[in-house]
Structure 1
Amino acid sequence: MIHLHPDLKSAQLALLVLLVLFSPLGIDIYLPALPQIAESFHVKHTQAQDTVTWFLFTMGLGQLFAGPLADKFGRRLIALGGVLIYGISAALAYGAQSIDWMLVARLFQGFGACATAVAAFATVRDVFGAEKSGRMISYLNGAICFIPALAPILGSYLTQEFGWRSNFSFMAGFALIALGLMVVGLKETNPAGEEIKKLPVFKFTRYMDVLLHPVFLFNATLCLLTMAVVLAYVTAAPVALMNHLGLSMNEFTQWFGINAVLNIIAAFTAPKIMDRIGTRFAIIIGSIALLCAGGLMLSLSPLQTAWAFMLPIFISTVGFALILGAAAGKALAPFGDKAGTAAALLGVFQMSGAGLLVSVIQRMGMDIQTSLTFHMWLVAPALLILFSPQGKRWHPLFNE
């Protein structure tokens, strides 16, 4: 643990909050503008939605390299580099004259967001140590949870007043201000010695040891499937609510904000539920919630109203919170000596895997409600596995 003066710790924490905001801000602020982006570039809605999935894909993939790079070259350099890449990419997206250039810009912006997140959480561990870092990470995650509630409100205002491109100029400006603050105030906290810095950045066998572990594969796949439900909703909601149901941008923002608040409540409640009933039962309950939400989505689809679309989403949000927390913890549990590598691979599953799955299903020709139902029902095989002898070994009750 790096020892800093208490005032410096407070300053570092404030900068770390800024660092973790880049990822959710890069998605949630411009969601109300997705229909306008599709119209501006004269492309299908699925191609506009790809600006989200490509961002998430590279954000996940980049974790394979950002973590080792932060160990080798330091947290501060990776953080500054990530902010710089993020800001330049946002400026490129602002000026994009075709959907292809927009997608390229978003691809690189995902790498930038990945670097900022990895640097932030690594710095927390350095500064606050093993004992207090969990509490500090909870604070950072709490900051992340508020972005889906607040960013679309800002994005809606910017889009209506200045056009959809203003969302990306805001991201570029945010990155520029943050970069200035971090150049002045962000301290290097990497405790690694010279022997660590001399190791190769990428070691293939270290990743394969994790990937071939059945406990990791089962639980990381659960994380992928549940994250895909959220991503499918996030990319489909603007089209479903504004284009198909005729809601205004402000009305869409209100519905999205309500679900974001529910997500915050579920995220803070889920750990207490897991403490009481165990992570295996939490996954079972969460999976049943997703299955019920999918059935409700399908049965209410003829009504074509906002509440008929959002009610199943509210239920799935609770299921997502229960499954993701329980499965992520169990996926990392067997890897005390490879925790960083396992966390990076879990990020690839959650971000890149979910983004790829959503992109493929969006191109299968299903309507939005059917597509969302399909995503929610993909957890059914995992639920059956949990009740099998093999599933009980892959995700035991408590620590049995």
Structure 2
Amino acid sequence: MQTTLLRKAIILGLLSAIGPFAVDMYLPSLPTIGQTLNANATEVQLSLLVFFVALGVGQLLYGPLSDRYGRKAPLYIGLTLFAFASVGCATAQTIETLIIFRFLQGMGACAGMVVPRAIVRDLHTGVEAAKLMSMLMLVFSISPILAPLTGGFIIELAGWRAVFWFVTVAAVLGLGLLALFLDETRPQAARAESSIASTFAAYGRLLRDRTFLGLVFIGAFGIASFFSYLANSPFVLIDHYGLSKLQYALCFSINAASFFAFAQLTGFLAGKFGLRRVVRVAVTCFAASMTVALVLFLAGVDRLDVLAACLFVGYGFLGLVIPTTAVLALEEHGAIAGSASALMGTLQFMTGVAVMLVVGSFLNGTAVPMVAGIAGCAIIAFVLTLVTLRAPARSVIVPAE
């Protein structure tokens, strides 16, 4: 049983990680891409922004498709589109061409973001779902931990275009894993109940569910804080603090390692204290650590070690928030898990995009706008937690024995 669970987590985690690899590997090269394609920082960041927009919008398509036609078919479509667009990115000669193919790449990658969450809900609920979700995130962690380091080495050896050839190969390998090792989890009888009308009805029901929306946006502002870091950290850490690309990749990987190390405690803590209590405590600690960072930087403390320490602690607690809120949000929506996962992903990614735009408009060459954006997201997540989880749970989650 444990072996089967681990095998599923590895496959789902790798499929989920292919898209983020396309982000994390090329982060160290953002300044270089601007120089190569004669683009300014705003235009280069747009190539990141449109990827996230596509990730958000595309999930609304893949979620209902996975409910109607099964979980595997949308994954085939998404991975194929991702591979095609990656080749386009690798051969782009202008920033406009790169931006177009980055959008298409995001439209393909989002299948790997939404469908695995639905598969987890197909298989388990409650604490068992939290355990599988945290195991999936452990495998998923290879992206933000290893991708910047791998990308840094690849960029140093072969240039930024080689990054996109690398993720093309990864997509092809993902298609192989999907075909050979992943079973279909959506029964034929359940698919027959899905239609365009039922999809719109499902979205309507979910948008009226205050608990679902509250949990989704707690996770959304947690993810948005990370988006703010993704978009701005290359310019802050490389240009402002003077780190090399490899030093930046190492710094990025340390924060990511904290996130996913804490995430592995989700199953244990959820079984011992309950999912809702884990969310409340973790969000409180996340908000507290990032508020401390904001106060220090507003007071004139402009030090990389202080920033790194606060992010390490804050993103560690965020690692407990993301999987638990996802499990709680999908808990009572098993019949429409694909649509629920899609709406959750879309709302979260679009929130992240909005925060990226706001924070990006305040860039001034220092770390303060980035820190303020991260802290603001953490505080909003804290307030949403107070409002959403103050009421008794609608269903009882039995702790694992």
TM tier, shorter chain?
A: 0.7 to 0.9
Q: Report the Cα offset of residue 299 of structure 1.
A: 3.5
SS of 1:227's equivalent in the other structure is: helix
CA distance in 1, matches of 2:305, 2:191: 58
Matched, 1:43 2:42: no
Aligned-residue RMSD, C-alpha: 3.2
Please, which of 62, 87, 92 is the counterpart of residue 66 of structure 1? 62
**CA, structure 1 residues 20+327, in 2 after alignment: closer, same or farther (shift >3 Å)?**
closer
Partner of 1:258: 254
Partner of 1:156: 152
Amino acid at match of 2:308: M
CA distance in 2, matches of 1:399, 1:167: 45
Partner of 2:290: 290
Q: Report the Cα offset of residue 123 of structure 1.
A: 4.4
CA distance in 1, matches of 2:26, 2:111: 21
Partner of 2:218: 222
Partner of 1:212: 208
Partner of 2:379: 380
Amino acid at match of 2:141: C
Q: Is the 8 A contact 1:63 1:114 kept in 2?
A: yes
Mean CA deviation greater in 92-101 or 200-209:
200-209
- Structure 2: where are the runs of 5+ without partners? 395-401
CA distance in 2, matches of 1:285, 1:308: 17
Please, which of 371, 387, 396 is the counterpart of residue 390 of structure 2? 396
Matched, 1:146 2:142: yes
CA distance in 1, matches of 2:384, 2:2: 49
CA distance in 2, matches of 1:16, 1:381: 30
Partner of 1:20: 16
**CA, structure 1 residues 208+372, in 2 after alignment: closer, same or farther (shift >3 Å)?**
same
CA distance in 2, matches of 1:194, 1:280: 35
CA distance in 1, matches of 2:188, 2:160: 44
Q: Report the Cα offset of residue 261 of structure 1.
A: 1.7
Structure 2 length normalisation: TM-score?
0.84
Q: Report the Cα offset of residue 335 of structure 1.
A: 4.2
Please, which of 356, 359, 384 is the counterpart of residue 358 of structure 1? 356
SS of 2:264's equivalent in the other structure is: helix
Q: Is the 8 A contact 2:260 2:319 kept in 1?
A: no
Amino acid at match of 1:237: S
After superposition, where does 1:71-150 map in structure 2 within 5 Å? 71-123=67-119, 128=123, 135-150=131-146
Amino acid at match of 2:97: W
1:342-373 CA-to-partner distances (Å, cap 9, x unmatched) read: 32221112222212321233124444522223
Q: Is the 8 A contact 1:280 1:396 kept in 2?
A: no
CA distance in 1, matches of 2:173, 2:2: 24
Percent identical: 25
Figure out how many residues of one structure are paired with residues of the other and give that number. Answer: 388
Partner of 2:280: 280
Q: Report the Cα offset of residue 278 of structure 1.
A: 4.7
Q: Is the 8 A contact 2:333 2:340 kept in 1?
A: yes
Q: Report the Cα offset of residue 23 of structure 1.
A: 2.2
CA distance in 2, matches of 1:11, 1:364: 44
Amino acid at match of 2:292: C
Amino acid at match of 1:380: I
SS of 1:262's equivalent in the other structure is: helix
CA distance in 2, matches of 1:111, 1:364: 28
CA distance in 1, matches of 2:88, 2:5: 35
Amino acid at match of 2:93: Q
1:93-118 CA-to-partner distances (Å, cap 9, x unmatched) read: 11111222111111111121111333
Q: Is the 8 A contact 1:156 1:249 kept in 2?
A: yes
Q: Report the Cα offset of residue 292 of structure 1.
A: 1.9
Q: Report the Cα offset of residue 200 of structure 1.
A: 2.2
Mean CA deviation greater in 142-151 or 373-382:
373-382
**CA, structure 1 residues 32+165, in 2 after alignment: closer, same or farther (shift >3 Å)?**
same
Q: Report the Cα offset of residue 223 of structure 1.
A: 2.0
Matched, 1:314 2:312: yes
Q: Is the 8 A contact 2:125 2:331 kept in 1?
A: no
**CA, structure 1 residues 212+293, in 2 after alignment: closer, same or farther (shift >3 Å)?**
farther
**CA, structure 1 residues 281+194, in 2 after alignment: closer, same or farther (shift >3 Å)?**
closer
Q: Report the Cα offset of residue 322 of structure 1.
A: 4.3
**CA, structure 1 residues 345+311, in 2 after alignment: closer, same or farther (shift >3 Å)?**
same
CA distance in 1, matches of 2:292, 2:72: 45
Amino acid at match of 2:313: I
Please, which of 333, 336, 346 is the counterpart of residue 348 of structure 1? 346
Mean CA deviation greater in 75-84 or 285-294:
285-294
